[in-house]
Structure 1
Amino acid sequence: MNASRHLIKKTSVVNRDAPSGSSWEPNTDVYLADNRLVINVELAGMRREDLELCIDGNELIITGQRPDCGRPSGCSFLVMEIHYGSFTCAFELMEGYDLADAVAAYQNGFLKIEVPQAVRPHPERRALHIAHD
């Protein structure tokens, strides 16, 4: 995990307009594979239409709304671990990955985003000046 810390920074965004307790953060895996950065987000119970992806510079923003499954009113929970409502999370990518060529797919409750490694042109040959003391 430490190897990827310099490549990506995850930020959770609190939705101030959401009712109290309805803002949540999905479980996320981020890993490197085959010269690409992969972001895998667990979003069970959501449809593709419930999600919005936005690229802003070097930041990838995921916003969504998981609808309540229809819990009966007045029920008393013994265990409550499933979150409903809206969420927003942002991933700030450091240099080296190209969000312009990112691809996303949603299947079986998982959103997978693949960001290829940026192709860096070789620097031109040039003289490097040595400064005098």
Structure 2
Amino acid sequence: MAMVRFPSFGTFPGLFQEMERMKSEMDRLFAGFMGRAPLSAVDSGVSPALNVIEESERFLVDAELPGVRPEDIEISIEGNTLTLRGERKKEDLDNVSYHRRERGAGKFQKALTLPAEINPDAVEAKFEHGVLKLVLPKAEHAKPKKIPVLTVRATEASTSVVDI
């Protein structure tokens, strides 16, 4: 009877490191593909979390920006791309020890490609309780169009019979 040898646990650390590297690379790849920042950028606490709602004639965007002053936010629209830039300033507190610090400080930039072009002249922005609320009307040519259906009156319709 042949003896089967299994690898020792000493050979697994390299395998686990390689699997972790591949996982990180896949996270980065899919984050870019899906239009999101890699998890490391989201975990920093600087990039805002967004809710985006599409209505027939506009998009509504809520961006969580606690600790960011309205004057430190820049909003730009180009075609169907919304870009938010800003900075959360670091709090300088003297003689303190943090037990937990989850909200990061620093500059951020987040670009979002929407499925329709925006009318930049009609955008509304309000900042309330740490939430930036944007109303982004769709460009006129991007709005849904109602097409009337015409009917033919019975008096206008004629039928003819042809003998073959």
The answer to whether the superposition gives a TM-score over 0.5 is yes
Structure 2 gap ranges (5+)? 1-33, 148-164
Q: Is it true that 1:92 corresponds to 2:116 in the alignment?
A: no
The structure with the greater share of residues assigned to strand is 1
CA contact (8 A) 2:82 2:112 kept: yes
Residue number in structure 1 paired with 2:103: 82
SS in 1 for 2:93: coil
Q: Distance in 2 between matches of 1:32 and 1:62?
A: 18
RMSD of aligned residue pairs (Cα, Å): 3.0
Residue number in structure 1 paired with 2:72: 50
Determine which structure has more spread, i.e. the larger CA radius of gyration: 2
| Alpha-carbon distance change, 108 to 34 in structure 1, aligned in 2, over 3 angstroms | farther
Residue number in structure 1 paired with 2:61: 39
Greater relative contact order: 1 or 2 (C-alpha under 8 angstroms, separation 6 or more)?
Answer: 1
Q: Which residue identity does 2:71 align to in structure 1?
A: E
Identity of aligned residues (%): 27
CA contact (8 A) 2:119 2:137 kept: yes
SS in 2 for 1:49: helix
CA contact (8 A) 2:46 2:103 kept: no
SS in 1 for 2:107: strand
Q: Post-superposition, which runs of at least 4 consecutive aligned residues in structure 1 deviate over 4 A? A: 120-123
Counterpart of 1:111 (choices 132, 144, 155) is 132
Q: CA deviation at 1:37?
A: 1.6
Counterpart of 1:66 (choices 88, 92, 95) is 88
Q: How many residues align?
A: 106
Counterpart of 2:50 (choices 4, 12, 28) is 28
Q: CA deviation at 1:72?
A: 3.2
Deviations 1:13-46 (A, max 9, x none): 9xxxxxxx97831122122357432110111122
CA contact (8 A) 1:52 1:63 kept: yes
The structure with the greater share of residues assigned to helix is 2
Q: Which residue identity does 2:143 align to in structure 1?
A: V
CA contact (8 A) 1:12 1:90 kept: no
CA contact (8 A) 2:46 2:88 kept: no
Q: CA deviation at 1:10?
A: 4.3
